[in-house]
Amino acid sequence: MIFNIIIVIISIILENIFNLYLNEFKLLSPLFTLMSLIFIYPYFKNSKRDYFLISLIVGFIYDIFFTNFYFLNPILFLLSSIIIFYIFSHKKYNIITIIIVATIIIFIYNIGIYLILSFFSYIKYNIFEFSWIIKNFLIGNIIYVCILFIISNKVYFKNKI
């Protein structure tokens, strides 16, 4: 459980650093906190309810730190964790599957944000701008997922969850 907390805290801190200090590098838009749900999954693979509860809590924390839309990110984080849980229940937990899941989660999260914020006329951009945004999210997050896989894989096999 300590490892899960450490992953989430480090992800929030790194995402905050990227948003505050490295925002001129538009090719590295972070969703590190959302990606951390992929890496806490192995610790909750036998407890679906606890995993979903943790994802809701992480979504609320994300809303507190990064947005003003309370309940938007907890719902999207819960949806993401349901998808993560479903995919890893049927597929092996390895680097290829993790990259595929991260890509799916990035798409679903950004489409959800786009649809909800467009519905409330909070943002206005076209599909080409949206595809540019998706590309920016993919680059940095896939690199982060690969690095975190190497780290978590050593801890995972060391503790033999």
Residues 41-85 have pLDDT tens digits of: 888 888 889 999 999 999 999 888 887 777 888 999 999 999 999
pLDDT attached to residue 27: 54
CA–CA gap between residue 145 and residue 151 (Å, rounded): 10
Region 133-158: mean pLDDT is: 80
Question: Per-residue confidence at 160, pLDDT binned at 50, 70, 90?
Answer: low
- pLDDT above 60 for 25: no
Region 111-123: mean pLDDT is: 79
What mean pLDDT, rounded, does the chain reach?
83
pLDDT attached to residue 45: 81
Region 103-117: mean pLDDT is: 87
Higher local confidence (pLDDT), 146 or 151: 146
- Cβ-contact 110, 137 below 8 angstroms: yes
Q: Percent of the chain, pLDDT > 90?
A: 30
Question: Per-residue confidence at 130, pLDDT binned at 50, 70, 90?
Answer: confident
- Cβ-contact 114, 130 below 8 angstroms: yes
Give the Å distances, CA to CA, from 51 to 54, 58, 78, 86, 155: 5, 10, 9, 12, 19
Q: Which amino acid belongs to residue 104?
A: I
